[in-house]
């Protein structure tokens, strides 16, 4: 799935992939998933044959779309290319374009935009609290006290099960919420405080570290004329 504009959230049993504009979300075959668009979103969907899919990761991932990948995606999902009755490209031409797309994704680095889903009951209890109140600045010790688990145990669970620290996970969660609010038209300052940052400057720094641009530039570049879904199959 490709967000030409807007933002997508793709949910699997492994967690949630945050897909801002000009990112590609890859979901392997037989991986049950659902997705949700936030704001005006132009979503493009391309399906791969097993031979091409086998060249991509066996887990959900998000990539930045290179200029070439973007043009290929737009071409494959443009008028006439998702309709077998009046195709814009021959089957062989579409196959070549798909191979180019896969090559571009293989060359791209995975983006840190996947929020892993806790499986341990104790982590799930903590995650539910922060999903509901992402601005909560309670320490791990304070949160652990609420659910009856020591901070040392929680730290170990985050590291062993999710592969990141609690603070890294919470930052990812907050950036996800920030992207949703920005897509709904919130400004940078209001979004920063709503997601738990002490000031807009620290929010901008965290946002840029993960998304690669500032919230203001992201808002300026995400506008879309309408929401739509376009697909292409090979």
Q: Domains in the chain, please, with CATH? A: 2-113 (no CATH), 118-216 (1.10.10.60)
Tell me if the pTM is above 0.75. Answer: no
* Spatial CA neighbour of 31 closest among 6, 8, 66, 56: 56
Q: Where are the beta strands (DSSP E) in the chain?
A: 2-12, 15-20, 23-26, 33-46, 61-64, 114-116, 228-232
Per-residue confidence (pLDDT) for residue 226, from 0 to 100: 34
Per-residue confidence (pLDDT) for residue 85, from 0 to 100: 46
Contact 89, 97 (CB under 8 A): yes
> Which tens digits make up the pLDDT trace of 65-97?
899 999 999 888 876 555 554 456 788 888 999
Per-residue confidence (pLDDT) for residue 43, from 0 to 100: 85
Per-residue confidence (pLDDT) for residue 80, from 0 to 100: 54
Q: Read off the pLDDT of each residue in 101-119 and give the average, rounded to a whole number.
A: 88
Contact 43, 86 (CB under 8 A): no
Structure token digits, residue 89: 């490209």
What mean pLDDT is reported for the chain? 85
| Longest CA span, the chain | 62
Residue 234: pLDDT band by 50, 70, 90 thresholds?
Answer: low
> Which tens digits make up the pLDDT trace of 135-179?
999 999 999 999 999 999 999 999 999 889 999 999 999 998 998
Q: Read off the pLDDT of each residue in 29-47 and give the average, rounded to a whole number.
A: 83
* Spatial CA neighbour of 19 closest among 133, 159, 132, 113: 113
Residue 222: pLDDT band by 50, 70, 90 thresholds?
Answer: low
């Amino acid at each position: 799935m490709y967000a030409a504009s807007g933002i997508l959230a793709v949910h699997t049993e492994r967690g949630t992939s945050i897909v801002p504009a000009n990112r590609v979300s890859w979901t392997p075959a037989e991986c049950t998933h659902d997705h949700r668009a936030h704001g005006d979103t132009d979503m493009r969907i391309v399906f791969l044959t097993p031979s091409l899919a086998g060249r991509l990761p066996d887990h959900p991932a998000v990539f930045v779309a290179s200029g070439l990948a973007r043009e290929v995606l737009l071409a494959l999902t443009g008028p006439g290319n998702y309709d077998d009755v009046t195709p814009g490209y021959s089957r062989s031409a579409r196959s070549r374009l798909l191979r180019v797309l896969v090559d571009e994704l293989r060359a791209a680095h995975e983006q840190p935009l996947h929020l892993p889903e806790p499986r341990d009951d104790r982590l799930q209890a903590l995650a539910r609290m922060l999903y509901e109140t992402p601005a909560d600045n309670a320490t791990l010790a304070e949160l652990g006290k609420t659910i009856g688990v020591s901070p040392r145990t929680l730290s170990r669970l985050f590291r062993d099960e999710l592969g990141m620290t609690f603070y890294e996970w919470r930052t990812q969660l907050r950036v996800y919420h920030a992207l949703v609010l920005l897509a709904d038209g919130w400004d940078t300052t209001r979004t920063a405080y709503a997601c738990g940052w002490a000031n807009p400057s620290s929010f901008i720094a965290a946002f840029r570290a993960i998304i690669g641009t500032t919230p203001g530039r992201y808002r300026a570049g995400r506008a879309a004329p309408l929401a739509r879904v376009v697909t292409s199959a090979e």
